[in-house]
Structure 1
Amino acid sequence: MTTTPRTTPRTTRVRTARTTLAAAVAGTLLLAACGGGGGAAADDGTTELTVSLFGTFGYEELGLFDRYEAEHPGVTITYESTQGEDKYWPALQTRLASGSGVADIQGIEVARIADVVANQAELWTDLRNTPAAGSIGNYVEWKEPAATTPDGAVLGLGTDIGPMGICYRSDLLAQAGLPTEPAALSARMTSWEDYVALGREYQAAAPAGSAWMDSAGGFYNAIVSTEQTIYYDQAGTLVHDSNPAVRAAFDTAAAAGQAGLTARLEQFVDPGWDAGFASGSFATIACPSWMIGYIKGKAGDAGSGLWNVTTLPGGAGGNWGGAYLGIPASSENVEEAAELIAWLTAPERQAEVFASAGNFPSTTGGIEMVADATDPWFNGAPIGQIFSTSTANAPVQILGPEDGVIKSAMVEALLSVEANGVAPADAWNSALSTVSNQVS
């Protein structure tokens, strides 16, 4: 998912296969005492693999860890998920630096992969030299190159990508007199300007307490997800402050916030944002594929049939989120961990995860398997087609080591516009100042 970058919070869970929680704690203490990373071979000859992720990758929910254990006698899996990637990543950096406490398999959000490749290659396993090597060529053309160092070391296998659509509440649009069928709605939104104009129509006749979109920050992220050059240029130079596409996206989102078209909710942080999927506090949201499962979880059974999905304005392609699975160099179980990540990211598993959680496959085989998928909960929307087309139309984005930091600064600045009335120009300058202080 991932996801925000991909920050799709879920309750933190620690899972151990065929062990008790006490045994899991004891195992963790033992690993820490040994000073190494990852799991270890037990006295009975079994191998305990530790997996640490953020948000929801769908593996636990689908029972994939249990299935892998059943198919691989002698392997047990200990799994934990941190609620937000913004908490997960700093903690992982501390453990990587110390060489202690890391899991055999760690998730890497797409906004972090450039930093891993540029600055952390020695801390991660080159998958070319492991049983995962055969999986490297399975991906859409741009997925694995992003995890590859200049000398060819591959530091992660892709899990998912984040092609984009617009998710919307059909009932709310109907009450405001707007089109509710995906094709008709898409015809009214041939550009982001059209999307904003339609929002003004909605606000003029909207049900009480409902805004056109959830947040200026989410709107901004959707716009920049359609760009090739965002915060860094091809040479790796920071261009966040000079790239006209970034400034235009910021100004467009800020104007929407000023005009009262947003519900002024901070994504993945404000409890009101989660509640809004069911309460109707916003009618539309730019949704990466991984958000499909999130919306279902928050709106529940009562939301089935109320939500639908259409394409981005103008049928644009975009990518917001996605992740990788990597193996820290300190793992004591590299071979077994590599076998597990190759299995988890295989096209068949990626297709299963999409059907369950909405995380869109990053392998070409997985994409082919889900191309005709529909979602009854979303009024039978052809989500396979929508997200496949978005993937095909998406630019090959240039990623940089501080993408996540810069994006967070922009989103926070936009929140100040919509929630606190800060002038957009002042908010922009504040974002640039934050970036200057945090990014060298």
Structure 2
Amino acid sequence: MPTARAAATTGIRAGTPTALARGVALRLGAVALAGALLTACGSGAQPEDAAAGAGAKVTVTVDLFGSFGYKEAGLYAEYEKLHPGVTVKQTDTEDEQDYWKSLQTRLAGGGGLADVQGIEVGRIAAVTQQQADRFEDLNAYGAGALRSSFADAKWSAATTKDGKVLGLGTDVGPEAMCYRRDLFEKAGLPTGREELAAQWSTWEGYLELGRRYRDHAPDKSAWLDSVGSLYAVMTGQEKERYYDAAGALVYETNPAVRTAWNTSVRAAQDGLSAKLDQWSAPWNQAFAAGSFATLPCPAWMLGYIKGQAGDAGAGKWDVAALPGGAGNWGGSYLAVPRAAKHKKEAYALIQWLTAPEQQARLFEKQGSFPSSTGAIAKVADVKDSYFSDAPTGRIFGDAAKAAPVQVLGAADKTIADQITNALSEVERKGTASDKAWENARKGVRNATG
């Protein structure tokens, strides 16, 4: 979730870790939740409904970034009813970069940490490779019994070489394209999700439709929110981005990265972007204002759109398959710091939140696509009335099945952030592509050492 989860990130949910870039890259089943998610056997052990102890009153603190949706979906309130004496208190930071920076400071000092901390998927390799001593091994609380509840790729990404489990998976980020039907109509473009999926089956087709929209768009409305979101969703379609399978940094020479960069630059130069920094206040306001017609859209973005566009946006949005094939953007974990005050109670909460029943409910209400194998079948037939009755369960389920198993390294998120920052220079300042790329390279070197 946020990339924001972001929010998105970020989402998608972005950050500035102090982690070294080098390190053994982990094979993340971004959504090799593909066959794995859909064919893994069994749903594993069910969470225990054990409270903090007879008559005990405990406040379990949860610190997140973006929009995980637990509060909005009523899950905290339900958990508190099931566990008399337990209160859940959540804090959150909209921008994942700010969240990660703050978390690093608190981990270093050992104070100010919540009982539960969210970890964005782009950070999980840094946690397992460089910060394992700062988080609880959840095996000590019985997490090993849950292994069959998750796809191997999702589980292994949060597991250290010596077998410590440092987080339980929340959602994953299979990708689609969200779009405004009403704005398409005003610009004379087709609005049917199947017809659009055919016309923008490639990214070139997507840009061509964007140029048509630009020429006939309503006032103050662009084709997409930012070229940074375009870059993120394109690289989410790749198995290898910044590291190769051996753990070597390859982003400077990887043709997939350069293709995503060049396509994003072209979108900026063609005037297709609203030039909005994701997770910023102007970006949030733009959802209601109709400032952009399309938004590259991992599943967790659905809940973010609902929150920002509000009731007035219901029925105006729709969802279609992504140009260029399936991909993954985002997905997170819930972890328990070593310095947490209520470790046992924290584990009981995250075990319950990541169980199949809760993950299925979260997708139905907020759009966060499950990482739990037991929840996948539960959401296959889900449609979302807010998004014009789009068959979101099928669209994102198909994307999850086809998405590649991505290779992740300790500085994945840092590299992505630096490249996105450089793309912002292109679209907002008119910086030449070669100069902006060199700025990205310098930013990566400065941030990773």
TM-score (norm 1): 0.89
Distance between the aligned counterparts of 2:69 and 2:136, measured in 1? 24
Spell out the pairing of 1:145-156 with structure 2 (5 A cutoff): 145-156=156-167
Residue 422 (structure 1) aligns with: 431
**Is 1:335 the counterpart of 2:344 in the alignment?**
yes
Pick from 55, 78, 81 the counterpart of residue 67 of structure 1: 78
- State the shift of 1:8 in Å: 4.3
Structure 1 residues 27-84: Cα deviation after superposition (integer angstroms, max 9, x where no partner): xxxxxxxxxxxxxx89974333222112221112223222222212343333222232
What CA distance in whole angstroms lies between the structure 2 residues aligned with 1:72 and 1:192?
A: 49
Match of residue 273, structure 2, among 242, 246, 262: 262
Aligned to 2:393: 384
Matched residue, 2:442:
433
Q: Distance in 2 between matches of 1:285 and 1:7?
A: 14
Which among 183, 203, 206 is matched to residue 217 of structure 2? 206
**Farther-moved stretch of structure 1 (407-416 vs 297-306):** 297-306
> For the residues of structure 2 that align with 1:137 and 1:154, how far apart are their CA atoms?
14
Q: 1:45 to 1:183 in 2, by over 3 A?
A: closer
Secondary structure of the equivalent of 2:60? strand
Q: 2:320 aligns with which of 302, 305, 310?
A: 310
- 1:6 paired residue number: 6
1:84-134 Cα deviation digits (max 9, x unpaired): 221221221222222222122111111110000110111111112213332
Partner of 1:190: 201
**Contact 1:131/1:338 (<8 A) preserved:** no
2:249 & 2:106 partners in 1: Cα distance?
28
Match of 2:309 among 292, 299, 305: 299
Please tell me whether residue 98 in structure 1 is matched to residue 109 in structure 2.
Answer: yes
Report if aligned partners of 2:61, 2:116 keep a CA contact under 8 Å in 1: yes
Shift in Å, 1:145: 1.0
CA 1:4 to 1:236, structure 2 compared with 1: closer, same or farther past 3 Å? farther
Give the aligned partner of residue 275 of structure 1.
285
Q: Which residue of 1 aligns with 2:175?
A: 164
Q: Which has the higher contact order (CA 8 A, sep 6+)?
A: 2
Could you say which residue in structure 2 is the equivalent of 1:25? none
User: Partner letter of residue 298 of structure 1?
Assistant: Q
Equivalent of residue 404 in structure 2, options 385, 395, 411: 395
Cα distance in structure 2, aligned partners of 1:287 and 1:215: 12
Question: Distance between the aligned counterparts of 1:80 and 1:385, measured in 2?
Answer: 33
Shift of 1:9: 7.8
Distance 1:239 1:380, change over 3 A: same
Correspondence 1:285 to 2:308 = no
**CA 91–381 in structure 1, closer or farther in 2 if over 3 Å, else same:** same
**What is the rounded CA distance, in whole Å, between the counterparts of 1:52 and 1:42 in structure 2?**
23
Residue in 2 aligned with 1:36?
A: none
- 1: distance between equivalents of 2:445 and 2:9? 28
Contact 2:298 2:329 in 1 (8 A): yes
Question: Which of residues 347, 355, 358 is equivalent to 1:346?
Answer: 355
What secondary structure, in the 3-state scheme, does the structure 2 residue paired with 1:355 have?
Answer: helix
Structure 2: distance between partners of 1:205 and 1:51: 46
Residue 130 of structure 2 corresponds to 119
After superposition, the Cα gap between the structure-2 partners of 1:78 and 1:196, relative to the gap in structure 1 and judged at 3 Å, is same
> Aligned to 1:225, which of 224, 236, 253?
236
Partners in 1 of 2:432 and 2:275 — Cα distance?
15
Conservation of the 8 A alpha-carbon contact between 1:107 and 1:326 = yes
> How many equivalent pairs are there?
408
Displacement of 1:161: 0.8
CA contact (8 A) 1:127 1:153 kept: yes
Per mean C-alpha deviation after superposition, the further-off stretch among 199-208 and 363-372 is 199-208
Instruction: Quote the Cα distance in structure 1 between the aligned partners of 2:152 and 2:6.
Output: 21
Contact 1:2 1:55 (8 Å CA) reproduced = yes
333 and 180 in structure 1: CA distance in 2 versus 1, 3 angstrom threshold: same
The SS at the match of 1:142 is helix
Structure 1 residue aligned with 2:93: 82
Q: Say which SS state the counterpart of residue 398 (structure 1) adopts.
A: strand
CA drift at 1:391: 0.6
Kept in 2, the 8 Å contact 1:213–1:283? The answer is: yes
Mind listing any 5+ residue stretches in structure 1 that lack a counterpart?
Answer: 11-40
Matched AA of 1:149: T
RMSD: 1.9
Q: Distance in 2 between matches of 1:43 and 1:133?
A: 26
Q: 1:182 to 1:132 in 2, by over 3 A?
A: same
SS at match of 2:406: coil
For 1:31, the equivalent position in structure 2 comes to none
For residues 224 and 234 of structure 1, the distance between their equivalents in structure 2, rounded to whole angstroms, comes to 16
Contact 2:69 2:303 in 1 (8 A): no
How far apart, in 2, do the equivalents of 1:94 and 1:352 lie?
A: 34
Aligned equivalents of 1:319, 1:202: Cα separation in 2: 26
> Within 1, Cα distance between the matches of 2:76 and 2:187?
46
Range moving further from structure 2, 41-50 or 285-294:
41-50
Deviations 1:218-239 (A, max 9, x none): 1000100100101111121111
Superposed CA offset, 1:192-249 (max 9, x none): 1111112112222222222111111010001001001011111211111111111110
Q: Is the 8 A contact 1:130 1:335 kept in 2?
A: yes
> What's the CA shift for 1:278?
2.1
Structure index of larger Rg: 1
- What are the equivalent positions in structure 2 for 1:6-85 lying under 5 Å apart? 6-8=6-8, 45-85=56-96
Q: Which structure 2 residues correspond to residues 172-183 of structure 1 after superposition, within 5 A?
A: 172-183=183-194
Alignment partner for residue 324 of structure 1, among 315, 333, 339?
Answer: 333
Seen in structure 2, the aligned counterparts of structure 1 residues 275 and 75 have a Cα distance that, compared at 3 Å, is closer
Residues 111, 404 of structure 1: 8 Å contact kept: yes
Pair 418,273 (structure 1): closer, same or farther in 2 beyond 3 Å: same
Identity percentage of aligned residues:
49
